[in-house]
Amino acid sequence: MKALLALIVGDPLADRSVPQTGVTARLTVFVAAVMAFLAVIALAVSLTTNRVATVWAEELAQSATLRLPADPATADALLLYALEVLETTPGVSTVRALSQDEQQALLEPWFGPDLPLDALPMPQLIEIVADGDGYDVDGLRARLEGQVPGAILDDHAAWREPLLQAASRVRLIGWTVILLIGATVAAMITLAAQAALAANVQVISVLRLVGATDTYIARAFVRRFTLRAGAGAIIGAVFGVGVLALMPQGDASGSLLMDVGFAGAEWLWPLLIPLLAAIVAFFATRAAAFRRLREQT
Amino acid sequence: MIELDNVSYGYRGNALFSQLSLTLAPGSFHFLTGPSGAGKTTLLRLCYADLRAMRGKVRIFGEDAGALNRDAVAMSRRRIGVVHQDCQFLDHLSIAENIALPLTVSGRAGEAANDLEELLNWVGLGPQAGQLPPELSGGERQRAALARAVIVSPDVIIADEPTGNVDWEMSQRILNLLIELNKMGKTILIATHDLAMIRSAKSDVSARILRLTDGQLMQAGAEL
């Protein structure tokens, strides 16, 4: 804590030993701001994917669809049998046969709005919602096979797993982008620090001559670049958070594109970005400064 | 104080000098003379551990300079005041801030105020305290460099052509300052081409005059 305070407050006399370098300073702040903005967006995408995938997975895990054979002669009887079986199954919370309009709405994206559903042999769909503990899928399948021949229970497992895998990959990409941004900040700060050190060869030579240690000389550069990177990252993070806050929000129905942003405590995550940028700048400048000092003197 | 024992040094495979020995005893006064390119500046840099001997040993305050780490070298510089011919200042700082720099880097900036004023007056730069180094004349810069070298009250003062860019009157003034420091017990080593300055010093100080030529360090004096 003391060291952190010393870094922020600094030693005015030591700071004055190294002249200000205007262009490098402005570029450092600018690049740190841009990188922090991109990091906030990448973080938001990653966290949103995680959130939406969780919602989708929970919804899919709790719901299932029972499809009855499209035989007009037995349809009503099968529907009654099926509802009876489902309603007496432990773990099933609600059971609802989809109406003809709802079934038509499901087919509309593929066949258009004028599909004459009455004239076609359409299977009846029943929506099943499980309670918290769920039901025995294999047991239900066995009962349906005996009492409702031809009924097919789809518990959505076939596409819930790929969906979760895809969400996991998007999250991984998001974190990889954040890591790459961190590496880019480190590389950029290293280059800027090396340029500043190279421009101050004479200053370093004089400081060594009068007995300055490497730590003393490096501190002036490290403090300067750490504060610049931190300040730039604060600007970029604030801008990124502002852009996300102004984006139109969805109805919490799990739409990825409409929900990009942060929710609840997630809004605290962007606070870490300036801190991380400053830490990266601190170590990158320190390494560059000590390397340069060893080479020069 | 500082001892060179059979030291060899060269650049790009060419030996500048070999098996050279020199001892700077406490309170001694040495002039180092010799032709340009003989290695005077190199010899001085070995004395304040700015270079490391290729062979032989350099001992600074009893420590083997070749074994000193970078922090230890920095610490030894705080006991050795160095005056360069080209002075080497930080051009963005005032002369007063430049002179106080050795105190600043050693964390003793608080001691600067009184010492600094006294020192500025001693070298006759009181009115120029707030000026930037490029605004000063060659002689004023040399005196400022001397003031910077002595502000931490070092045990040894090493000066490389301290009167190289100044007129006779100014060179006498700088020499008198160095003699005064020697009388205060400081060890002085001056590299110079200025034989007239050496002759003028002989009456005021018991100085050892060394001549570095063809890689050999010899006692001089009679011819001066």
Closest chain A C-alpha to B4 CA, distance in angstroms: 20
Chain B residues in contact with A289 by the CB 8 A cut-off are none
Residue A30 pLDDT: 92
Chain B residues in contact with A13 by the CB 8 A cut-off are 104, 109
Residue A6 pLDDT: 66
What average pLDDT does the segment A69-89 reach? 87
Tell me if B102 and A211 make a contact (CB, 8 A cut-off): yes
User: Which H or E run includes B20?
Assistant: strand B14-24
Tell me if A14 and B104 make a contact (CB, 8 A cut-off): yes
> How far apart are the C-alpha atoms of B84 and A262, rounded to whole Å?
61
- Position A255 confidence tier, pLDDT thresholds 50, 70, 90: low
> How far apart are the C-alpha atoms of B99 and A124, rounded to whole Å?
95
Residues of B with CB under 8 A from a CB of A: 50, 70-71, 74-75, 77-78, 82, 84, 88-90, 92-93, 97, 101-102, 104-106, 109, 148, 152
**CB contact A21 to B (< 8 Å):** no
Residue A40 pLDDT: 93
Closest A-chain CA to B77? A211
Residue B105 pLDDT: 87
- Position A106 confidence tier, pLDDT thresholds 50, 70, 90: confident
Tell me if A206 and B90 make a contact (CB, 8 A cut-off): yes
Percent of chain B at pLDDT > 70 equals 97
- Substitution target from B75, B105, B141, B152 for chain A, most A beta carbons within 10 A: B105
The CATH code of the domain at B1-79+155-224 is: 3.40.50.300
List pLDDT tens digits, range B143-190: 899 899 988 889 999 999 888 777 788 788 888 888 988 998 999 999
Q: In what order do the strands lie in the sheet with A63-67?
A: A92-97, A125-130, A63-67, A152-154
Please provide the average confidence, as pLDDT, over all residues in chain A: 84
Percent of chain A at pLDDT > 90 equals 25
Percent of chain A at pLDDT > 70 equals 91
Tell me if B101 and A207 make a contact (CB, 8 A cut-off): yes
Residue A3 pLDDT: 62
Q: What residue segments make up the domains of chain B, in order of their start? A: 1-79+155-224, 91-153
Residue A37 pLDDT: 95
Chain B residues in contact with A10 by the CB 8 A cut-off are none
Report A:216-245 residues touching B (Cβ under 8 A). 216
Closest Cα to residue A214, out of A293, A141, A142, A99? A293
Q: Which residue has the higher pLDDT, A228 or B205?
A: A228
What are φ and ψ of residue B83, in 5° steps? -115, 120
Lowest mean pLDDT among A24-28, A95-99, A248-252: A248-252
- Substitution target from A20, A207, A210, A291 for chain B, most B beta carbons within 10 A: A210
Chain A residues in contact with B99 by the CB 8 A cut-off are none
Within 8 A by CB and 6+ apart from B149, the residues are B81, B82, B83, B157, B159
HSE-CB at B69 with a 13 A cutoff on CA atoms is 4
Most confident segment among A30-34, A111-115, B7-11: A30-34
**CB contact A214 to B (< 8 Å):** yes
List pLDDT tens digits, range A140-184: 889 888 888 889 988 887 777 787 888 888 888 888 998 999 899
Dihedral angle of Cα A152, A155, A157, A159, to the nearest 10 degrees: 80
Closest A-chain CA to B81? A210
Tell me if A212 and B84 make a contact (CB, 8 A cut-off): no
- Position B216 confidence tier, pLDDT thresholds 50, 70, 90: confident
Closest chain B C-alpha to A202 CA, distance in angstroms: 8
Tell me if B74 and A205 make a contact (CB, 8 A cut-off): no
> How far apart are the C-alpha atoms of A255 and A35, rounded to whole Å?
27
User: Which H or E run includes A172?
Assistant: helix A157-199
Judged against a pLDDT cut of 90, whether residue A38 lies above it is answered with: yes
Chain-centre distance of CA B73, in angstroms? 16
Tell me if A211 and B97 make a contact (CB, 8 A cut-off): no
What average pLDDT does the segment B100-117 reach? 80
Dihedral angle of Cα B146, B152, B153, B158, to the nearest 10 degrees: -40
Residue A164 pLDDT: 80
Residue A250 gets the label, from left (phi > 0), alpha (psi -120 to 50) or beta, of beta
Report residue B139 as tokens. 């002689």
Q: Which residue has the higher pLDDT, A290 or A157?
A: A290
Chain A residues in contact with B50 by the CB 8 A cut-off are 209, 297
Chain B residues in contact with A203 by the CB 8 A cut-off are 90
Identify which of A14, A17, A293 has the shortest CB distance to residue B90. Answer: A17
User: Which H or E run includes B23?
Assistant: strand B14-24
